[in-house]
Chains A and B, each alone.
Chain A
Amino acid sequence: MSQAKLLDNKPARHHMGLRTSRLIGNSAIYAFLIIISIIWLIPFVCIVLQSFRVENTHQVGYIIPKKWGFDNYVNLFQTDFPRWYMNTFISALVTAALQTVIVLCMSYTLSRFRFKLRKPLMRLMLILGMFPGMLTMIILYRVLKDLGMTQANSVPGLILVYVASSGMGYYVSKGFFDTIPKSLDEAARVDGATRFQVLKKIILPLSKPIVIYTILTAFMGPWGDFVFARYIAFGTSAGMNVAVGLYNWLNKDQISKCYTMFCAGGVLVAVPVTVLFMCLQRYYVEGVTGGAVKG
Chain B
Amino acid sequence: MKKFLAYLLTVIMVLSMVSFASASELAGTYDITVWVAAEVVDLTLAQIEEFNQTNEFGIVFNATVEPVSEADAATQMITDVEAGGDLFCFAQDQFARLVQAGALAKLGVKAGETVSAANAPVVVSAATVGDTLYAYPLTADNGYFMYYDKSVVSEDHIDSLEAIIADCEAAEKYFAFEMNTSAWYLASFFFATGCESTWETDAEGKFVSVKDTFNSPEGLIAVKGMKKLVDSPFHLSSSSGAEFSSGAAVVVTGTWDFMTVQGILGDNMGVADLPSFEVDGQIYHLGSFNGCKLMGVKPQVDPARAAALHQLAQYLTGEKCQAERFAERAWGPSNLNVQASEAVQANAGLVALNAQAPYSIPQGNIHGSWWDIAKVIGDDVKAATDDAGLQAALDNYQAKIADLFKLDTNALLFVGAWNGWNNADDTDTYYFKDNSLTLDVPESDYMGGRIVNPGDWGTDKGFAQVVTGVEYIKDLGADNPDNNIVFAEAGNYTVTINGTEISIVKN
Contacts and interface: CB of A to CB of B under 8 A. Distances in A.
Are A and B physically bound partners?
Answer: yes
Interface of A: 56, 58-62, 138, 141-142, 145, 150-151, 231, 234-237, 248, 251-257, 259
Contacts of A59: 240, 242, 245-246
Interface string B241-283: 1100111000000001100100110000000000000000000
Nearest to B73: A235
Contacts of B35: 235
A253 B76 CA distance: 17
Contacts of B83: 145, 150-151, 234-235
Which 3 pairs across A and B sit closest by C-beta, in order of nearness? A61-B246, A58-B242, A251-B69
A150 B83 CA distance: 9
Given A237-B66, A253-B69, 10 more contacts: A58-B240, A58-B242, A60-B246, A145-B83, A234-B83, A234-B84, A253-B70, A253-B71, A256-B242, A256-B260
Given A58-B242, A145-B83, A253 B260 contact: no
Interface string B168-205: 00000000000000000000000000000000000000
B419 to A, nearest CB: 38
A252 B70 CA distance: 9
A235 B68 contact: yes
B39 interface: yes
A138 B80 CA distance: 10
B37 interface: yes
A253 B253 CA distance: 12
A236 B67 CA distance: 8
Given A60-B245, A60-B246, A253-B38, A231 B79 contact: yes
Given A150-B83, A235-B35, A236-B66, A253 B245 contact: no
A255 B240 contact: yes
B193 to A, nearest CB: 28
Given A56-B263, A56-B264, A253-B256, A248 B246 contact: no
B85 interface: yes
B71 A234 contact: no
Contacts of B443: none
Given A58-B245, A248-B67, A254 B80 contact: no
B72 interface: yes
A58 B242 CA distance: 6
A59 B257 CA distance: 13
B85 to A, nearest CB: 7
B168 to A, nearest CB: 15
21 contacts: A56-B264, A58-B240, A58-B242, A58-B264, A59-B245, A61-B247, A138-B79, A145-B83, A151-B83, A234-B79, A234-B83, A234-B84, A235-B33, A235-B84, A251-B69, A252-B69, A253-B37, A253-B71, A254-B38, A257-B39, A259-B242
Contacts of B257: 256
Contacts, number: 73
Contacts of A138: 79
Contacts of B39: 253, 257
Contacts of A142: 80
Contacts of A141: 79-80
Given A236-B66, A248-B67, A257-B39, A58 B260 contact: yes
B80 A234 contact: yes
Nearest to B38: A254
A235 B76 contact: yes
A231 B80 CA distance: 10
Contacts of A58: 240-242, 245, 260, 264
Contacts of B33: 235-236
Nearest to A235: B68
Interface in B290-319: none
Contacts of A256: 240-242, 257, 260
B260 A145 contact: no
A236 B80 CA distance: 13
A145 B80 contact: yes
A87 to B, nearest CB: 15
Interface string B61-96: 000101111111000100110011100000000000
Contacts of B71: 251-253
Contacts of B263: 56
Contacts of B260: 58, 256
Nearest to A142: B80
Nearest to A152: B64
Contacts of B245: 56, 58-62
Contacts of A151: 83
Given A56-B264, A145-B83, A252-B71, A235 B242 contact: no
B242 A254 contact: no
Nearest to B68: A235
B91 to A, nearest CB: 10
B69 A237 contact: no
Contacts of B240: 58-59, 252, 255-256
A234 B247 contact: no
A138 B83 CA distance: 13
A256 B238 CA distance: 13
Contacts of B247: 61
Contacts of B72: 251
Nearest to B263: A56
A183 B80 CA distance: 55
A55 to B, nearest CB: 9
Contacts of B37: 253
A186 to B, nearest CB: 54
B431 to A, nearest CB: 32
A59 B79 CA distance: 31
Nearest to A62: B245
A48 to B, nearest CB: 19
Contacts of A231: 79
A255 B242 contact: yes
